[in-house]
Amino acid sequence: MARSVIIEEFGGPENMKIVDREVGDPGAGEIRIRHKACGLNFIDVYQRTGLYPLDLPHALGMEAAGIVEAVGDGVTHLKPGDRAAYASMPPGAYCDARVMPAAQVCPLPDSISFEEGAAIMLQGMTVEYLFHRVWPLEAGDKVLFQAAAGGVGLLACQWAKSEGIELIGTAGTDEKCKLALEYGAAHCINYREHDFVPEVKKLTGGAGVSVAMDGVGKDTFGGSLDCIQPLGMMISFGNASGPVDPVSLLTLASKGSLKLTRTTLFTFLADHARCQDMAKHLFSKVESGAIKVKIGQTYPLEQIVDAHRALESRQTTGSTVITL
Ligand code: NDP
């Protein structure tokens, strides 16, 4: 038996409950993994509220690290006893153990702890594709990154610094701005106290950034577009403040032939080989010391409701880990 966090209806954090269930054996292409730690991500909130709908009842959680217990037919990249970590569909990672598709589960190097693995798979592979697979970024490029002190944010600050990219971050408090600067942001604007658009213009000598990366969504999308130089790129990748309102294509023309994409990590992870490459690239950044994993807070599984409340109310910094 294993504990698992499920919802029977979409709604607030209080809708989550812990149930016991049988784990079973893996079929072809699957593994059984016993978790040591799970990661908390904003996508878990969207799935819990129904913004990203699930068939109900459904288990929650998209990321974990642990030890492989059994592998099904056709699984060759993992074996029982291996340390492993993943960010993967389907939701259900907030649990002691599960059977799941093997393709997106990755061998975890010994040098990276289970807690660190659970903290970085989803957020770190997101930064990997944002910096390397959407738009060709080069040393010296200026990037606007919204919510720079969050889980994805602090990893992005460090990744940018390690590649010579000038990351201009935003965050909701001066303390969070300080943290983003410590982790490698070139600048950080407290966007609850200052309009970030003129600040970004000032910091770029009036030119604007070549790319904006925006996981905050509704509250910042328009401002992010205003910070981008002509022919630049807008990467919208999240909705922490709510989904972005519909955009007229003519807006992109009037602001200088901008490009716009709305990305999701799971498109990039869908290919097994690419997923494994992305994980290796992320692990190499950690092992080289370029990225230090910032676990801002941990909660035991029994306190999953408190963990969701903290993430939604902007109280967290860095990554959040659920211990088992
Ligand atoms: P964070 O740790 O960054 O938490 C979200 C942060 O967003 C908050 O701490 C807060 O920072 C900021 N924020 C601004 N407005 C609000 C609001 N109204 N309510 C809540 N938070 C707000 O979360 P994650 O690192 O898990 O994810 C960051 C974003 O990236 C999310 O939107 C997530 O969905 C997205 N994401 C998208 C992926 C993709 O591939 N599309 C993959 C991974 C993440 P502050 O107080 O500083 O404003």
Question: What's the pTM value of the predicted model, to 2 decimals?
Answer: 0.98
Q: 278 by DSSP, 3-state: which?
A: helix
Q: Measuring CA to CA, which residue among 188, 129, 110 is closest to residue 154?
A: 188
Q: Measuring CA to CA, which residue among 230, 229, 219 is closest to residue 196?
A: 219
Tokens of 219: 């509250």
- Per-chain mean pLDDT for the chain: 98
Residues with Cβ within 8 Å of residue 81, at least 6 apart in sequence: 67, 68
Q: How far does residue 192's CA lie from ligand 1's centre (Å)?
A: 15
190 Cβ inside 6 Å of ligand 1: no
Share of the chain above pLDDT 90, in %: 99
Segment 14-49, tens digit of pLDDT: 999 999 999 999 999 999 999 999 999 999 999 999
Could you tell me if 256 and 233 are in contact, meaning their C-beta atoms sit under 8 angstroms apart?
A: no
Q: How far does residue 196's CA lie from ligand 1's centre (Å)?
A: 17
237 Cβ inside 6 Å of ligand 1: yes
pLDDT for the residue numbered 136:
87
Distance CA 70, CA 88 (A): 18
Q: How far does residue 173's CA lie from ligand 1's centre (Å)?
A: 14
Q: Residue 133 is which amino acid?
A: R
Burial of 134 (0-12, 13-18, 19+ CB in 10 A): middle
Q: What angle do CA 251, 198, 261 make, to 5 degrees?
A: 35
Which atom in ligand 1 lies closest to the alpha carbon of residue 122? 43
Distance CA 320, CA 318 (A): 7
Segment 181-208, tens digit of pLDDT: 999 999 999 999 999 999 999 999 999 9
- 201-209 long-range contacts (CB < 8 A, ≥24 apart) are 201/227, 203/142, 203/168, 204/142, 204/168, 204/229, 208/232, 209/142, 209/143, 209/144, 209/168
Segment 220-239, tens digit of pLDDT: 999 999 999 999 999 999 99
Segment 129-139, tens digit of pLDDT: 999 999 989 99
Distance CA 168, CA 146 (A): 8
229 Cβ inside 6 Å of ligand 1: no
Domains by residue range for the chain, with CATH: 2-122+266-323 (3.90.180.10), 135-262 (3.40.50.720)
Could you tell me if 35 and 24 are in contact, meaning their C-beta atoms sit under 8 angstroms apart?
A: no
